[in-house]
Amino acid sequence: MSAQPQQQDQALTRQQIRPILIGLMVAMFPGALDSTIMGPAMPTIGRELGDVANLPWIVTAYLLVSTAATPLYGKLSDIHGRRIMLLIAIATFALGSVACALAPTMITLALARALQAVGGGGLVSLAMTIVGDIVPPRERPKYQIYTSIMWTLSSLLGPILGGYFAERWHWSVIFWINLPLCLAAWLMTDSKLKRLPRHERPHKLDFIGAGLLVVGSVLVQLVLSWGGTHYPWGSPVILGLVAASALFIALLVWRLHVAEEPLISYSLLSNSVVFYGTCAVGMTMAIFIGLMIYVPVYFETILGISATYSGLSLLPLTVCTTIGALIAGRGMARLDRYKFIPLTGLLIGAAALLPMFFWPMGLSIVTIEILLGIVATGIGAVFPVTTVSVQNSVGKHELGTATALITFLRNLGAAGGVAIFGTIVLSGSGASPELGKVSVALGGADYADHFRWIFLVGAIGFFIAFLILLKMEERPLAARLQTRGFK
């Protein structure tokens, strides 16, 4: 079946691109902020709703649904266009936020969070896709500063705002604040996105494949979230979830072979850049989120630092990740051998984790913070290179699906990182990962020898990501947007 673009691609000027990018960052911001603002408010939410036992579901429900929804947004944007799908995501996220703010019980709050996640699953991936629509691959890394600033602001402001709103005002404010943000995102993107080049083509959404993908990804995330924490890895619950997830994944693979128009095309699945790029970013994200969750625990339980400072210990991880992304983005725009920067960053990051493995209590706080900064710089260098490489390797009509696939693997990697690091830290301690009980159950010096292994696992993970990224083909970056038909 042949198709032609609905309108000819036209290169936008920098003056036209800049306001579109700012609008996209405003659209991404509520979803990014949501991942950091909830933590400090959770104890207050559990106390005021009188249901601490089900509190983890307000996080789990969001992660499960948003991750499962991400690939669907990519496919739907390839069918119906980026603008309409982004506006739907913004509206759904706002509607879910209202439902969360008005929720009278923990169960209804968890359900409202699932609705909110239906919108949140599209905010980040669609914004990244639209950047790919308007900026040529060779120029795309130069605009990384917009995304980096947005993620840094959400990482820094989220914990502060979450704690302040819950303590001084009311926990529902963390959801009400999304309404002006979503309104601003709508107003800043609606008219500007009408300038976008159109790449959609007649498609049919494979509903059976979509259902199998959603169920399978939810089951995999439950395994990663519950295994070793809520239930032992060998428990009937986890083994049953593993068997069910394997069954649905097998059915999904079968469906991709027999469907007339599969949810993920063969050209995408057989693209080596897509395969190695998404695997590398998933592995890197697993280590990054694992460190983000458990480094404060390390500071508080092993080094005896106060809870306030243990939270500030994340600053090197958040700030230097942005620095690494900027360095790699600028280098990618100038170098033909652009993998050199993230490959070097991964090796140096792995080496920086080893001193904390060998001397978990023998290093000064300043030294540890410097090492964490080095680690984060290496992590940040991976994200722009993998994203731009994957987008550069696919046709315009598959850009949404490919970009959503990156976000999907990043989310799965994050869930896997929390599960693996949590199993290492909590194994044999009797600690619960909920509501900060970890630091109460773990003993300082006696537990240091056990805790140190997360740094070794992190170093090994970086080396695996290095080997994966090494195999990703380094294709020349296109210097201009495609103006011809679809590939």
Q: Is the pLDDT of residue 413 over 60?
A: yes
Total domain count for the chain?
Answer: 3
pLDDT of residue 387 exceeding 70: yes
Residue of higher predicted confidence among 61 and 266? 61
Percent of the chain with pLDDT over 70: 82
Q: Which residues pair with 231 in a beta bridge?
A: 227
Highest mean pLDDT among 284-288, 301-305, 333-337: 284-288
Pair 109, 132 in one domain: yes
CATH number at residue 48: 1.20.1250.20
Average pLDDT for 335-363: 88
The string of pLDDT tens digits covering residues 159-200 is 777 777 777 788 888 889 889 988 988 887 777 776 665 555
Is the same domain home to 316 and 401?
yes
Report the alpha-carbon distance of residue 333 to residue 125 in Å, rounded.
Answer: 22
Same domain, 240 and 286: no
Residue 95: exposure state from Cβ atoms within 10 A (0-12, 13-18, ≥19)? middle
In terms of Cα–Cα distance, which of 460, 454, 477 is closest to 387?
477
Instruction: Please answer whether residues 146 and 21 qualify as being in contact, where contact means their C-beta atoms are separated by less than 8 angstroms.
Output: yes
Instruction: Assign 136 a pLDDT band (cuts: 50, 70, 90).
Output: confident
- Say whether both 187 and 234 belong to one domain: no
390, 278 in Cβ contact below 8 A? Answer: yes
Q: What is the mean pLDDT of residues 10-31?
A: 75
| Distance from C-alpha of 312 to C-alpha of 300, rounded to nearest angstrom | 11
Residue 352 located in a structural domain: yes
Binned at pLDDT 50, 70 and 90, residue 440 comes out as very low
Instruction: Please give the structure tokens belonging to residue 459.
Output: 């170093």
53: exposed, middle or buried (C-beta count within 10 Å: 0-12, 13-18, 19+)?
exposed
Closest by CA position to 72, among listed 198, 213, 238: 213
Positive or negative, the CA dihedral 279, 282, 288, 290 is negative
Assess contact for 181 and 26: CB atoms under 8 A.
Answer: yes
- Asked whether residue 197 is assigned to any structural domain, the reply reads no
Domain edge (last residue) among 138, 161, 191: 191
Is 203 exposed, middle or buried (CB count within 10 Å of its CB: 0-12, 13-18, 19+)? middle
Identify the CA nearest to 129 among candidates 203, 199, 190, 205: 199
213 lies in a domain? yes
Number of C-beta neighbours around residue 22 at 10 A: 15
Angstrom CA distances, 422 to 304, 312, 453, stand at: 20, 21, 11
pTM (2 d.p.): 0.74
Residues 19, 126, single domain; the answer is yes
Smallest CA-to-CA distance from 371 within 358, 348, 355, 352 is with 352
Whether the Cβ atoms of residue 71 and residue 216 lie closer than 8 Å to each other: no
118 and 255 both lie in a single domain = no
State the DSSP code for 51: -
DSSP H helices, 135-206, are 144-168, 173-176, 178-190
In a domain, 108, yes or no: yes
From 227, 242, 262, the end of a domain falls on: 262
Q: Is residue 224 one of the residues assigned to a domain?
A: yes
Going by C-alpha positions, the residue among 233, 242, 291 that lies closest to residue 427 is 233
Same domain, 428 and 400: yes
Mean pLDDT score, 150-165: 75
H-run or E-run covering 481: none
**Residues in contact with 94: Cβ distance below 8 Å, sequence separation at least 6, in sequence order:** 119, 178, 179, 182, 183
Q: What is the pLDDT of residue 486?
A: 30
User: CA-to-CA distance for 361 and 270, rounded, in angstroms?
Assistant: 47
Between helix 315-334 and helix 365-392 the angle, nearest 10°, is 40
Task: Tell me, yes or no, whether 196 lies in a domain.
Answer: no
Same domain, 248 and 273: no
Determine contact, residues 321/379, Cβ cutoff 8 Å.
Answer: yes
Which is nearest to 135 in space by CA: 121, 149, 145, 123?
145
Residues 59 and 182 in one domain: yes
- What is the distance between the alpha carbons of residues 405 and 272, in angstroms, rounded to a whole number? 14
Q: Is residue 199 part of a domain?
A: no
Structure tokens at 250: 């097998």
Tokens of 110: 């968890």
User: H/E element holding 467?
Assistant: helix 453-471
d(CA 107, CA 56): 11
Enclosing H/E stretch for 407? helix 399-426
- Same domain for 474 and 361? yes
Which of the listed residues 219, 243, 262 is the one where a domain comes to its end? 262
Residue 243 structure tokens: 């068997």
Within this chain, do residues 165 and 251 fall inside the same structural domain, yes or no?
no
Can you tell me the distance from the alpha carbon of 419 to that of 286, in angstroms, rounded to the nearest whole number? 9
Domain contains 6? no
Q: Output the pLDDT for position 437.
A: 45
Between CA 444 and CA 99 the distance in angstroms is: 42
In which domain, by residue range, is 125 found?
A: 11-191
- The per-residue pLDDT for 147 is 74
pLDDT confidence tier of residue 349, bands split at 50, 70 and 90 = very high
**What pairs with residue 227 in β-bridges?**
231
**Residue 187 sits in the same domain as residue 211:** no
